[in-house]
Amino acid sequence: MQYLENAYINGNWYPLTGPDRFPLVNPATEECIAKVTMATESDVNQAVAAANQALPAWSNTSNKKRAEYLNAIADEMLNRYDDLIQAHVQSMGCPTSLTGAFHIDCAIEAMRYYAEMAPMIDKVEQRENNLITKQPIGVCALINPWNYPLHQLVGKLAPALATGCTVVIKPAEQTPLADQIMAQIIHKVGLPAGVFNLLFGRGHVIGPMLAEHPKVNMISFTGSTRAGIEVAKNAASSVKRVCQELGGKSAYIITEDADLEAAVRYGVEDVMGNTGQTCNALTRMLVPKSRYQEIIKIAAQVAQEQVVGDPNHESSTMGPLASAQQFNIVQDYIRIGIEEGAELLVGGTDRPEGLSKGYYVKPTIFTKVTRDMRIAREEIFGPVLCIMEYDEVENAIDIANDSEYGLSSGVYAKDQASALPIAARLDAGQCYIQGSFFSMYAPFGGVKQSGNGREWGEEAMHEYIETKAIICP
């Protein structure tokens, strides 16, 4: 049993003294592997004070020096690669063989990518007689969910450090291990005290404290739309910038003339990856009625190829869901889908064969899903794909856009040229065409209730930058 009893504040391990201990459960074994002490208000105040104290020196450190720190962090992440893998396997059940590709590699590269971007803050634009300059926004609170613990952290931390901001980080309750390793890495590379501060804590307890805090200049939140709305409300009284990366129910249109084998395989694998716990998963597959039978045959085949099992087995492609809570949510939605009249093509509520322990669920595909059903409208956050039929592409675009979410979308058409005009009409922050994958060079974020602001790409830097105009005579 591990005990995580220290926050990392002002360059030191800082003992948390509150009475609340969060039990960390390995979702594959259902065993408690650690107890995590949850921060209190005075811990939050200490962390915010340290970040404020460090800000003037860090924001005046040269961009070259800041880039050196980011690269040193990336080097040390590489040294701690196996530990980072284990942190994900133990706390969220990701298969060991896939964890590097899913969770770690891109995070390391991202540190280097934002190191290269550090000079952006010093660029001055001359516009007529005015100088348009930039400055770091200041102290940033970074709050993250449990489904991509390291990836989400780095997506915020790297641009924040590159611009000269200081940070207070709060990971999800269930996944503090990767963040803890990152604090050790930061300590080892000697980042100046107070630039990086880490607290463990309950979202509904310390989240509002961070959002309301008058000495926090910006809050970057990733998580559910419900909590994202709370954060924005709590942040309003101090008029801080709020970046919200929230939920999704993304549509994926396959056209009649697409390569069906490739298109359907891509769509099913996209939803099953990370056991369906991916905010931008293409969970509504819109298929032409004319090719429905061929499509569902391929979809069933791909789902049945998934190997659900022990994350430590080489052959496993899907581990358990990350928590008992998520297991119950997903089971409920599968039941709801059946009650609503959708047809189960594969999967269902029973546990996968031979897996009586652990939060494992079957890869599940519903067909005959209609747009009014809850399973078509609400985020399930598990390996559950909804197949919906359409007559004409126009009708598919209408179904795709009929959602309160707008995080991502996808199109697989005959070729790129035919996919692009459809992509242009989808109301979402991203569109993946012809089987493409996440790219950290592209801005990521949602429209409608999927959020405000953009992470990744160059756009992530702007979240942490204030523009200042110097008006010259």
For ligand NAD, which residue of 177, 384, 407, 431 counts as binding (CB under 6 A)? 407
Asked if 27 is part of the footprint of ligand NAD (rule: CB under 6 A), the reply reads no
Q: Is 50 helix (H, G, I), strand (E, B) or coil?
A: helix
For ligand NAD, which residue of 379, 386, 393, 454 counts as binding (CB under 6 A)? 379
Q: Which is nearer to ligand NAD, 197 or 222 (CB)?
A: 222
Question: Taking a C-beta distance cutoff of 8 angstroms, is the pair 35, 3 a contact?
Answer: yes
Q: Give dist(CA 203, CA 210) in Å, integer.
A: 10
Is residue 343 flagged as an active site residue? no
Piece of the chain touching ligand NAD by CB under 6 A; list 161-169, 246-254, 266-274, 348-356: 246-254
Q: Give dist(CA 145, CA 74) in Å, integer.
A: 22
Q: Which is nearer to ligand NAD, 71 or 224 (CB)?
A: 224
Catalytic residue among 76, 230, 245, 379: 245
Piece of the chain touching ligand NAD by CB under 6 A; list 245-253, 287-295, 311-319, 345-353: 245-253
Asked if 11 is part of the footprint of ligand NAD (rule: CB under 6 A), the reply reads no
Asked if 207 is part of the footprint of ligand NAD (rule: CB under 6 A), the reply reads yes
Tell me the Cα Rg of the chain. Answer: 23
Q: Which is nearer to ligand NAD, 246 or 321 (CB)?
A: 246
Amino acid, single-letter form, for residue 460 = A
Of the candidates 331, 265, 352, the one whose C-alpha atom is nearest the C-alpha of residue 300 is 265
Asked if 453 is part of the footprint of ligand NAD (rule: CB under 6 A), the reply reads no
DSSP 270-328: HHHGGGG--TT---EEEEEGGGHHHHHHHHHHHHHH--B--TTSTT-SB---S-HHHHH
Binding characters for ligand NAD, 129-158, by CB under 6 A (x = yes) = --------------xxxxxx---x------
> How many whole angstroms from its chain centre is CA 42?
28
Helix axes 225-236, 203-212, angle to 10 degrees: 40
Contact set for ligand NAD, span 177-206 (CB under 6 A):
203-204
Helix axes 63-79, 105-117, angle to 10 degrees: 170
Q: Which is nearer to ligand NAD, 43 or 310 (CB)?
A: 43
Q: Which is nearer to ligand NAD, 145 or 352 (CB)?
A: 145
- From first CA to last CA, the distance across the chain in angstroms is 66
The pair of three-digit structure tokens given for residue 324, joined into one six-digit string = 């008992």
CB of 370 to ligand NAD, least distance (A): 23
Q: Give dist(CA 457, CA 76) in Å, integer.
A: 23
Asked if 418 is part of the footprint of ligand NAD (rule: CB under 6 A), the reply reads no
Is residue 431 flagged as an active site residue? no
Question: Taking a C-beta distance cutoff of 8 angstroms, is the pair 153, 196 a contact?
Answer: no
Question: Taking a C-beta distance cutoff of 8 angstroms, is the pair 405, 446 a contact?
Answer: yes
Q: Which is nearer to ligand NAD, 59 or 180 (CB)?
A: 180
Catalytic residue among 94, 106, 165, 279: 279
Asked if 463 is part of the footprint of ligand NAD (rule: CB under 6 A), the reply reads no
DSSP 70-136: HHHHHHHHHHTHHHHHHHHHHHH---HHHHIIIIIHHHHHHHHHHHHHGGGGG--EEETTEEEEEEE
For ligand NAD, which residue of 53, 71, 224, 452 counts as binding (CB under 6 A)? 224
CB of 223 to ligand NAD, least distance (A): 3
Piece of the chain touching ligand NAD by CB under 6 A; list 9-17, 58-66, 225-233, 388-396: 225-233
Amino acid, single-letter form, for residue 468 = K
Q: Give dist(CA 100, CA 80) in Å, integer.
A: 12
Asked if 449 is part of the footprint of ligand NAD (rule: CB under 6 A), the reply reads no
Contact set for ligand NAD, span 256-295 (CB under 6 A):
279
Active-site residues, by number, are: 245, 279
Binding-site ranges for ligand NAD (CB under 6 A)? 143-148, 152, 170, 172-173, 203-204, 207-208, 211, 222-224, 227, 230-231, 245-248, 279, 379, 381, 407, 446, 451
